[in-house]
Structure 1
Amino acid sequence: MLSASLLLVHPLRLAGPGDQRLITDALDAALGWSRTRTLDGAIRFTSPCRTAVITGAPSADHPCAWTVHGYPSPGSAPLWRASFAPGTPAEITAAFTTVLVHGLRSAHRDYLRGGPHHLPRTPASVLTDRGWRPDQSPPGFHDQVAPDLTAVYRHRVGHQPPDTEAAGRTPPAWSMLAGNLRNPSWRADFTTGVPFYPLVRATLLFSSPAPVERRRCDIPAHHLPHLTARPAPLSRPAAPDAPSAARPAPAAARRRR
């Protein structure tokens, strides 16, 4: 059936939400993390140290929206927040959450300077290396725009109180927006205090030129003119720039949805 045929498409940011099990399977396998359901039906994963909570909110019309909160200590007010709107490719969300899970095991030390997984890069440098350029920005922000003009990475200029930012009362420090830049198809927001290493990993996926696998019927129709697609081989490449736990599920598993 043509609508269910498997394709390799790029860029990832326009490929559609993909398989949410990329996120949940890695969290279910994370040592010591607990999984519960909230009263409104959301899925909630809590770290063993109770300083990180990852929540997937259900939606009748769209895949989950995901929110990650970081806390300085159990029971305190949130220190930072990362949010991934419905439509965000699961690979991008999984890159952030999976690397965060790994980093919490060593209290972030493995990903900081001198650690075995440290990346001496920033989101801005990743994008510059991949040809993203500064562009006209709204007042108070600095934008980097993708070469194909289908996405923007937005950095807020100036200081905002971290508690009001984490609570959503002031604009986030960083945002990824994809699709029509006047009316983005999806966005991901990150407040001051978000650990940089999962943000860099998510940025690598956001800007990746490598293809990912999708069913034709799962690709947003309005993105098709901006995608490059070809039939997927029987065995497909691993997800670009992703940690092993955040790679796409086998094609056969996705067909069972």
Structure 2
Amino acid sequence: MPSAAPVLVQPLRLAGPGDRRLVTGPLTALHGWSSTRALEGGTRFTSPCRTAALSMDGDDGSPVAWTVHGYTRPGAEPLWRASFSSGTPAEIVAAFTTALAADLSARHRVGLHRSGTPASVLADRGWRPSDHSPKGFHDQLAPDGWALYRHRLGHQPHEDEVARLVQPTWSILAGSPHQPSWYAEFTIGTPFHPLTRAAAAFSDPEPVLRCADEVPARHLARVTVLRRPSDRSTRQPGPVEASRLHLPPSRPAPAARRR
């Protein structure tokens, strides 16, 4: 099989970055976000209400990192930050950004729905508390031990988190817990519905489409290649098609679960 042949890989969190259009397509084609080239490089996408902005850092030939900032009003200092390092699967970033864009569009028309908590979604998929959480943190570990969801205990000023002066309130890490292949950080104030959707994608057991040479070499022993897809399933998605993410339905969270 040629190295670039399309394959179906699971789990998603170890499958490699994937197609960045899964992130950018829904924002521009469905939700009306504008895009501009940033002075420092990369591309910036801004919501129509100008209270959220996504920065895409990286060239066509290099890995892409993503940062989302939220604002109380246009021109204000950032209220919260969500960042995804290079190597983060596009499906996970898209789960967050698409939910955020949909919630911003619906804010003035209907009440926003609730979808449980990241911890409850992960617990339902067999993620369990770690016995080796660092002091001041609560970790949930994936069944295979190669990913975790981390909740920092205690309070820190939101501006210190946004400025990266202290550890974020929530983070997800994939790969070895001591040397993650990629990570995402979410500061206090991050909207909880998009965060929960990102956690759902992070733990999604369904396979995703990748070229065989896109899977990171360090993950090859940890992923399963199910089969070679048909020609129809290997067609590259368009901007609107890219928004059709596979995520479990939203549902209320048990009251006793930890966030």
Scaled to the shorter chain, the TM-score interval is 0.7 to 0.9
| Among candidates 200, 204, 213, match of residue 217 of structure 1 | 213
8 A contact 1:91–1:247 mirrored in 2: no
Aligned-residue identity in percent: 56
Structure 2 residue matching 1:213: 3-state secondary structure: strand
Asked if 1:138 corresponds to 2:134, the answer is: yes
Please say if residues 50 and 73 of structure 1, whose CA atoms lie closer than 8 Å, have aligned partners that are also in contact.
yes
The residue aligned with 2:175 is 179
Q: 2:185 pairs with 182, 189, 197, which one?
A: 189
TM-score after normalising by structure 2 = 0.86
Structure 2 residue corresponding to 1:127, chosen from 122, 125, 149: 122
Asked whether the equivalents of residues 151 and 170 of structure 2 are also in contact (C-alpha less than 8 Å), the reply is yes
Q: CA-atom RMSD, angstroms?
A: 2.0
Give 1:198 shift.
0.7
Residues 78-117 of structure 1: pairs in structure 2 closer than 5 A: 78-107=78-107, 110=110, 112=112, 115=113
C-alpha distance in 2, partners of 1:111/1:218?
Answer: 40
Give the corresponding residue for 1:240.
none
Q: Secondary structure at the match of 2:168?
A: coil
- Please say if residues 42 and 59 of structure 2, whose CA atoms lie closer than 8 Å, have aligned partners that are also in contact: no
C-alpha distance after superposition, 1:60-100 (max 9, x if no partner): 87421000000011111100000000000000001100111
Closer/same/farther in 2, CA of residues 226 and 93 from structure 1, 3 Å limit: same
Gaps of 5+ in 1: 238-242, 249-257
Matched, 1:246 2:243: yes
- Greater helix percent: which structure? 1
Distance change >3 Å, CA 122–CA 244, structure 1 → 2: farther
The alpha carbon displacement at 1:165 in A equals 0.9
Deviation at 1:209, TM superposition (A): 0.8
Q: Is the 8 A contact 1:6 1:231 kept in 2?
A: no
Equivalent positions of 1:148-159 (< 5 A) are 148-159=144-155
Q: Which residue of 1 is the match for residue 12 of structure 2?
A: 12
* Closer, same or farther: CA 61–187 of 1 in aligned 2, 3 Å: farther
Contact in 1 for aligned 2:31/2:101 (Cα 8 Å): no
Per-residue deviation, 1:108: 7.7
Q: Displacement, 1:105?
A: 0.6
Are the structure 2 counterparts of residues 98 and 245 from structure 1 closer, same or farther at C-alpha, using a change threshold of 3 Å?
farther
- Mapped to 2, the partners of 1:42 and 1:53 lie a distance apart of 13
Amino acid at match of 2:243: A
> Hey, what does 2:255 align to over in structure 1?
none
- CA drift of 1:42 comes to 1.2
CA offset at residue 233 of structure 1?
2.5
Distance 2:206 2:78 in 1: 35
Residue 110 of structure 1: how far off its partner (Å): 4.9
Counting matched residue pairs gives 238
Q: Which amino acid aligns with 2:182?
A: W
